Amino acid sequence: MKRLHIKNVIIVNEGEKFLGSVVIEGEQIAEVLREENAPSRPCDEVLDASGCYLLPGVIDDHVHFRDPGLTQKADIYSESQAAAAGGVTSVMDMPNTMPQTTTPEAWEEKMKLFAEKSLVNYSCYFGATNTNYTQFGELDKHRVCGLKLFMGSSTGNMLVDRMETLNKIFSESDFVIAAHCEDQNTIKENTQKCLAQTGENDDLPLSYHPVVRSALACYRSSELAVRLAKEHNARLHLLHISTADELELLSRTPLTEEKRITSEACISHLMFADKDYNHLGTRIKCNPAIKSADDKKALREAVKNGKIDVIATDHAPHLLTEKEGGALKAVSGMPMIQFSLLSMLELVDMDVFKIQTVVEKMCHAPAILFEVQGRGFIRQDYQADLVLVRPETENIVTQDTIVSKCKWSPMEGHTFHWKVEKTFVNGHLAFENDRIVTDMKGQELRFR
């Protein structure tokens, strides 16, 4: 098998940052070497990566690739290209597609699509409804990354709002329950109050979005999820925490496979605050809503102190025409996967995080939390999912550089000072020097 020696690179892995080299043999990491130690035997190719950092490939546990059924916005092929361009080598896709991934048959069909189209590694969540919990026993826990539970507004019939069903899901499932938590009754009450205050009929100014989808709506739903998880000793993963209040529900316990209640912060809530609606408009409208600067500050601190376990994107492309309107009419969601790692590295430059923390939360933690086999670390015999990034390199986001099918981003016009130079997926180049390599496909993730 071909051996590639990546040398003179700063390796960031498992809390360390050191000069060294890595040997890739076939699909796997064959050697991890420190300083100038030589490989155990000759290599076919040598890559001098002086000045670059080598990180494990990012594992994004929260994406919406819109395939099947919503492919006018995005599809698996286009968004996996965007992932590779951003240093993301593995994704876990959400079930609110058309058809929804709420039956074993629909889940298998979506996995077939990923096998045919994805350039990065993949798995898919199984979507919970009020009536399908009897099918959980048919799912393979080594193939299904987790259950997606909407405890707030959703599409189709995926809002689970019956206490009997919630108790069944939390008591009988041995999967990770990934929950979107916003209390629907609170959102409805807030909407009616705001419409009455403004005299509006069917929409509200965008500034009302975090008022309608308020901190209280998030807290009430998250508190219920945590209470149910503790009562039934369930494995709960709270998605896209957006408020300081919700952090009170979480512990600083270090992440291990035994930690039962975990949480995720998304790039949008770590990068933006409500004042950014003024210049970015509906491009940063998402659910849960982006909230105050104090909430953003609290989330960043929670990443550092361990209350937040994972950083993900909630990558959710829409057409720009669908983003027209205000707090009620403009659709929620944004494409971020191409710029997620770069955004976090920018926060490293701002001394918000250490680069080791970025790697921990975006690479190691998803692998530990979901018990992903053989990925998420730079270790001998692990799959060679790696990303080479270069600092101090001006990188301007333009429409031409955006890979996502929708061809827009809230980062458009922004200048990063990091650049993804190469992304390796299972030892093969998927992205190199602004060029996406499309001749290899990703692999299905395996768990537990």
- Residues 282, 339 share a domain: yes
Give the integer Cα–Cα distance in Å for 307 and 298: 10
Bond preceding residue 99 cis, omega within 30 of 0:
yes
Share of the chain above pLDDT 70, in %: 99
Answer yes or no: is 219 within a domain.
yes
Contact yes or no for 279/413 (Cβ under 8 A): no
pLDDT at 257: 84
Q: Are residues 37 and 154 in the same domain?
A: no
Q: Is 177 in contact with 147 (CB distance < 8 Å)? A: yes
Cis peptide before 68, with omega less than 30 degrees from 0? yes
Residues of the chain with pLDDT below 50 are: none
Examine residue 51 and state whether it is found in any structural domain, yes or no: yes
β pairing state of 428-432 and 415-425: antiparallel
Do 256 and 293 lie in a common domain? yes
pTM: 0.98
Single out the residue in 369, 395, 416 at which a domain terminates: 369
Residue 156 is predicted with a pLDDT of: 59
* Domain span holding position 11: 3-55+383-436
Closest to 331 (Cα-Cα) out of 387, 408, 435, 440: 408
pLDDT for the residue numbered 153: 57
Where among 347, 369, 391 does a domain terminate?
369
Give me the pLDDT at residue 399, please: 97
